[in-house]
Structure 1
Amino acid sequence: MAKFNPRICFLLGFVACASLLGVGAYLQFVEELEPCPLCISQRLAILATGVVFLLAGLHNRGRKVYAVVSAVTALSGASISARHVWLQHLPPEEVPECSPGLEYVFQHFPLADTIKLMLTGTGECAKVDWTLLGFSIPAWTLLAFLLLATWGGLQFVNGEEQPENE
């Protein structure tokens, strides 16, 4: 099996996460697609995964720990994305009610309620504003998280080969 420098691989994972955040910013600020609570939660999970990848790339120790943490962080994001995809496929009569704006919720609700709202989604999360090849943004994000989790997890077995004793 080919072995690659784990630090470079982790830094490539960071670049992937930064690119995903860049796409999110483009869709929000150029295409004017306003993110829902689950979209924001997914961005936070991408950011967290990217930070783990960056720390792993800069730090020269603990490759296996970073591999597990990056995979777990990405899988946490995948679970949020999966919830979002599920909401988008609910029949209209089963879609939860829309909530007040996130800014209002942050100002007037307890933190626990705000976090619950951000992780479970609301009616506006079920709306599909944009697709590419028939897949919505959360579906693409779910795929990205699964790829990031795989990439991070592969670094568990991707280490420097030990020289053989002669």
Structure 2
Amino acid sequence: MTTLSQSLEDPRFPAILLALASAGVLGAALFFQFVLGYQPCILCLMQRWPYVAVLVFSIVTLLFRQWKGVGDALLVASGLALVACAGIAAYHVGVEQHWWAGTSSCGGSGPANSLEALRAQVMAAPVTRCDEVAWSLFGVSMAGYNVLISLGLAAFAFVSARIAYTRTPVSRTAL
């Protein structure tokens, strides 16, 4: 019978868990978008890319398991991608709460000089604004939940990388 710590010594196990979690988060985002009809803003779309990166890192970890140390490094890379995702999501929460302004892609741009320029701005503006909460549960928006999920997965990735790195050292003569 293996313990959780023994399972985490092989970077493939946490890579599988991170891939499943990332696929679940992306699946939920796509479900909200295509089934429930919640259109994402530009910040919502930006928050998806780190999960795609984690999926790629996990697949590479599984494919190149014979390369010692690659899985450990990719767990760290996954953790860093998830920290970046948490940062984007935290920024999005701040925009939703009107603590600061969003990016120029979030629905606002400079003043128009003419009626035609104003019309062009209105027509080019995104349908979904970043500063409006489209969905929330218990007062927490999707971006707020993404901060928590990303940080939790990042912590798991870093702890798993540390455990995998400190496992029985590889003989230097074998390399």
TM-score (norm 1): 0.74
Aligned to 2:107: 98
Mapped pair 1:65 → 2:65: no
Aligned to 2:20: 15
For the residues of structure 2 that align with 1:29 and 1:148, how far apart are their CA atoms?
A: 25
CA offset digits 1:71-117 (Å, max 9, x no partner): 111111111101101111116xx6557249xxxxxxxxxxxxxxxxx
Task: Work out whether residues 89 and 144 of structure 2, in 8 Å CA contact, stay in contact via their aligned partners in 1.
Answer: yes
Aligned to 2:152: 147
**Regions of 4+ moved over 6 Å:** none
Aligned to 2:143: 138
How big is the alpha-carbon RMSD for the aligned residues of Structure 1 and Structure 2?
2.7
Task: Work out whether residues 11 and 72 of structure 2, in 8 Å CA contact, stay in contact via their aligned partners in 1.
Answer: no
For the residues of structure 1 that align with 2:141 and 2:155, how far apart are their CA atoms?
A: 21
For the residues of structure 2 that align with 1:48 and 1:161, how far apart are their CA atoms?
A: 25
Task: Work out whether residues 68 and 152 of structure 1, in 8 Å CA contact, stay in contact via their aligned partners in 2.
Answer: yes
Moved more, 124-133 or 55-64: 55-64
For the residues of structure 2 that align with 1:67 and 1:36, how far apart are their CA atoms?
A: 29
Residue 161 (structure 1) shift = 4.1
* Larger relative contact order (Cα-Cα within 8 Å, sequence gap ≥ 6): 1
Structure ID, larger Rg: 2
Mapped pair 1:3 → 2:6: yes
Residue 16 (structure 1) shift = 0.5
Aligned to 2:29: 24
Unpaired segments of 5 or more residues in structure 1?
101-122
Unpaired segments of 5 or more residues in structure 2?
110-127, 170-175
Aligned to 1:162: 168
Aligned to 1:117: none
Task: Select which of 44, 51, 57 maps to 1:46.
Answer: 51
Aligned to 2:112: none
- How many residue pairs match? The answer is 141
For the residues of structure 2 that align with 1:161 and 1:69, how far apart are their CA atoms?
A: 19
Task: Work out whether residues 7 and 58 of structure 1, in 8 Å CA contact, stay in contact via their aligned partners in 2.
Answer: no
Identity across matched positions, percent: 27
For the residues of structure 1 that align with 2:97 and 2:108, how far apart are their CA atoms?
A: 19
Mapped pair 1:77 → 2:85: yes
